[in-house]
Amino acid sequence: MGRTMNEKMSTASGDGEGAGRKTRGRESKLSLPAGKPLSPMMEAALGQVRQDFDITPGRCIKIDGRRTSIRLQDPLWDALKDISKREGRGIDSLCTEVARMRPKGLTVSGAVRLFITRYFREAAGSVKTE
């Protein structure tokens, strides 16, 4: 069953209370440990999350030479362009590699989102390898 325009999904940080419940038009509040200020990185990231980013209409890319469309939020498209520049590869080439490596059942859009997240986590040195 789909959500109406006035319903938003909220998740509370920490104990998981309220995770996934619908909040009809209400903004969820962050639960922060008492006396612990937000880091500049957290403030910047949360400022972006609070903005209403709509999923943009599908954009056409080529995967293995075949045209297809994927849907990503604008900040993710920007991140994909940044990766493309850093790696000296085209967006189609990056998406083809991601599509080839994705597990069965995961959409190309979902795989690209995971790729972008993992790429920048690696760049930040925040991924623990097992």
pLDDT along the chain (130 residues), means of 10: 40 41 47 73 76 72 95 91 97 97 95 96 76
Has residue 117 been placed in a domain? yes
The predicted model scores a pTM of 0.62
Tens-digit pLDDT profile for residues 71-95? 998 889 999 999 999 999 999 999 9
Q: Would you say residue 16 lies in a domain?
A: no
Using alpha carbons, list the distances in angstroms from residue 40 to 29, 32, 46. 18, 15, 10
Residue 86, domain member (yes or no) = yes
pLDDT at residue number 48? 72
In degrees and rounded to multiples of 5, residue 104 shows phi and psi of -60, 140
User: Is 63 domain-assigned?
Assistant: yes
Any domain includes 3? no
Q: In terms of residue numbers, what domain contains 63? A: 59-124
* C-alpha dihedral sign at 57, 109, 44, 10: positive
Q: Is residue 97 part of a domain?
A: yes
Give the torsion through C-alpha atoms of 95, 123, 12, 1, to 10 deg.
Answer: 0
Within a domain: 90: yes
Q: Is residue 100 part of a domain?
A: yes
Domains in the chain, number: 1
